[in-house]
Amino acid sequence: MVTSTKKGIEQYIENQCNLYGIDALEHLSANQIAEELSISRPLASQYLNELEKEGICFKVNTRPVYFFHKKAIESYYGIMIQDSEFYDTDEFWKYILNHTNDHFFLKQLIGWNGSLRPIIEKSMEMLNYPPNGLPFIIQGARGVGKKTILKVLLQSIRFISPVSKKMTQFDAVQDQRVGKFILELEQSNERKPYITIIEHAENISKTTQNILLKYMKNSRRLPDLFILLSEKDLREYLLSELLSLFPFIVNVPELQERSKREREELVIRLFRNEEENLGKKIKLSNVVLNALSQAVYKDNIIGLQNHIRLICARSLLKSNGKSIKIHAYDLDQQDFENIKILKDVVYYIDISTYKGSKEFEFFIHAVDAFIDMYKNGGVDYLALNYYSKYKELIDMLFQYNNTFDNTHLRGIETVVADIVQVVVSRRYVNIPGNFVFESAKLLYFIQDNLDEIDRCCKERETTLKKMLQDLSLNYLQECTITDEISSLILHNLEIKTNIIFRILLILVFQRYNKSFTHCNIFGLLICHGRSTASSMADLVNTMIQAYVFDSIDMPLEATVEDFKNVLANTIDRIQNNAQIIILVDMGSLELLGKGLIDETRHTIGLINNVTTRMALHIGYQIKEGKPLEDIVNNISKSIQVDAKIFTKDSEDAILFVSETGKKTSERMMQLFIESLPEQIPVHFIFLDLMELTDDSFYNQFIDIYNILFITGTVNPNLQNAPFLPLEDLINGEHWDMICNYLKSYLTKDQMNILQNNLRNNFTLTNVIQYLSILNPKKLLDNVIMAIDILQGKLGKRLSNKALVALYIHICCMIERLVSKDAILDSGEHIERFKKEHEEFINLTNISFSQISKVYSITITIEEIHYIYKFFNDDKEEE
């Protein structure tokens, strides 16, 4: 009896200290313990003093005296208790403050400085808000760790500020208890505020919600803090007025949404718990760790925990001695789906000494290798030797990102692909075929390990900054392109690229663009008018096939002061070591130049009365790397103004155009060039439809070129520019027109070769393969089937020419929709079309249902309207 009663007191104190730490003091006096355990006070006091003498407990000599469990308090706060008693609670609290690490509590949470960081920061703001915190909601699926996170947050808040609140916890499944407690609070004279935690808050009845709403709005007490925990989205369960009293909702991510590093740490943590429970050392293979950290569990961490216990139980039966070794064959059947074929040798991990995944260590090793190369021979030596280590890094990232299915990574790849397309089309830069793939994975890895990598960069900050500065001095164009990509990533993904990412991009660009002239001149065109400067810059850059000019379009009423302000903002973004040449259409060079030179360290060359011819002349000199002083001094000699009447003899050009962008136009152009029997002195130029329909751009274009004809997927309807539809090339029509335009460049035999090559190259399948990034055979088969179904439902057969045109258009349409670039048009005619042709819309959706399913797209009304025009305009019926 004596032993069981004394042991019961010890267990009661230990449980209270494990749950509440110093907050348990009100439950730890002799009176309170006697009442809780239904024993006499003298007996409770006797056993408590014995426990203190045995070193199991220590006491705080207030009135009444409080007894704390020594090991439980040491574990709770991560400290060692040296004293057996304290004078009062203030002395005890100061002892805790002086011996506990600042982040001790938060570091108990895996991901405290990673995926859980925004949750912790916002929750701490709520808990610390004066005078007693703000109510908030923590919600997430079962087993994501809501209660554990809240427990650690409350421990931390107690550490930051001394005990001032009582804490009560309810499960809303027992709804009546919650309502009763709130009513008792309302009638109580107790002045110390409560922290009230309500679990499964989605089960709170409307009656109890109204009681809580009334109390929170009208209570005369000091503000109580209510925290709701829920497995559901409480916006669908709470009264809107009650919900408005909770200013913040914390959403805890599911296990599979957390980083690979965090999932591995959770697996190790749970195995360590089992190691302690079983009293045996546990080792597990890297295959097991990989499989368990990849799997998706029904109840998240709880599901993972139960799964690990079953594995340990299975392995325990086979173990001998004091250790357990867990092999791949100890896993469950579903775990084998998550086993990836590893190139590495299988090895076993001692979970007591495990320090995290090796990918991060490899990344840091690679960064240090790049730094060593830079220190040994500067940026030129780095640029020459970085690639082998870079490829090793990319191979590691490939393994890292392929260990689980991640929609977030695929989203990053999609956006990066769009960003690179924009930059490449403007900058005339070469990139390797896997550049998007590699840069997206690098970006994802850095974000997935952001805190650790930021810490790594901070430790090497001085060297990395010097390395980036030297790279920008030697590789200005590569650095400018990298800055533009980084800026677009920030604006479109809200990810700020770090210094390592930028350094690696510069190195990749310099490797694949040896033809870059490493001059340090930045060209800028500034003109009055809506698109005068931008059209001129696009034209010059297109002709030179290099990005030598940026542009600024100014309003007609702009003053010299306006020019200076706009220029100052632009120059701020230009690398410090660059010289700048500015071409303006009108204005005082003296005033403009003096105003700029006072605000910048750049050397600036200013040239007035710019023309397209002048810009082209200067652009070629910039590309050739001529000094700024020579360009400016020689311009007046090189550019002469003639005034006479003459007949224009422009250079011939063939234009290729598509409504789906420059990439499609370029593919058509390459296919046509490959069909020529030999090179001819004709300019082949690919353009976007929007560029070609810009009057300002087109007018400047025809001043330079004589357009033989335009071909492509859509007619731009331009005067004095014959259009040859792509479907006519496929059907073998109008080849005589092509031969007529090229007769001055090709012999009769060469004409025959050209026709044969066009016949072979411009087949429907080959064209689709060139125009789309999707699988051409599968794409074309699906499109033909959908059009056949639609023709049958409409009872109308299209002509062969219209069918080919529609096949091409639908294939391009699918690529647009897959890449989220659909035609958008909210005009009145679209609304009218929806009302007048509801049957056609429904039949189209039915006919294209297989395509929608295969490519996960939705055919928009605007696209259906475009399809309708094919059927409406074609006259061949059956």
Per-residue pLDDT tens digits for 217-268: 876 555 678 999 999 999 999 999 999 999 889 999 999 888 777 888 899 8
d(Cα 444, Cα 363) in Å, to the nearest integer?
13
Q: What is the pLDDT of residues 357-392, one digit of tens each?
A: 677 778 888 999 999 999 999 988 998 898 889 888
Q: Which range scores top for mean pLDDT: 353-362, 641-650, 860-869?
A: 860-869
CB 218 within 8 A of CB 245: no
- Strand 136-139: give its sheet, edge to edge: 166-171, 194-199, 225-230, 136-139, 248-251
Does this model's pTM top 0.85? My answer is no
Q: Higher pLDDT residue, 876 or 456?
A: 456
pLDDT at 145 over 80: yes
Q: What is the pLDDT of residues 703-714, one digit of tens each?
A: 778 888 898 888
Q: How many CA atoms lie within 13 A of 443 on its CB side?
A: 27
pLDDT at 90 over 50: yes
| Closest among 165, 296, 294, 143 to 229, alpha carbons compared | 143
Confidence of residue 601 (pLDDT cuts 50, 70, 90): low
Confidence of residue 406 (pLDDT cuts 50, 70, 90): low
pLDDT at 841 over 70: yes
d(Cα 379, Cα 476) in Å, to the nearest integer?
13
Q: Is 51 exposed, middle or buried (0-12, 13-18, 19+ CB in 10 A)?
A: buried
8-state DSSP, 254: P
Q: Higher pLDDT residue, 863 or 332?
A: 863
8-state DSSP, 26: G
Find the mean pLDDT for residues 752-775: 73
Strand pairing partners for 723?
710
CB 193 within 8 A of CB 222: yes
Confidence of residue 645 (pLDDT cuts 50, 70, 90): very low
pLDDT at 720 over 80: no
Q: Higher pLDDT residue, 798 or 138?
A: 138
Confidence of residue 173 (pLDDT cuts 50, 70, 90): confident
d(Cα 692, Cα 687) in Å, to the nearest integer?
7
String of DSSP letters for 468-528: HHHHHHH-HHHHHHHHHHHHHHHHHH-----HHHHHHHHHHHHHH-TT-----EEEEEEEE
pLDDT at 143 over 90: yes
CB 242 within 8 A of CB 212: yes
Confidence of residue 737 (pLDDT cuts 50, 70, 90): confident
Q: What is the pLDDT of residues 422-472, one digit of tens each?
A: 777 666 677 776 788 888 888 888 887 776 787 778 888 889 999 998 888
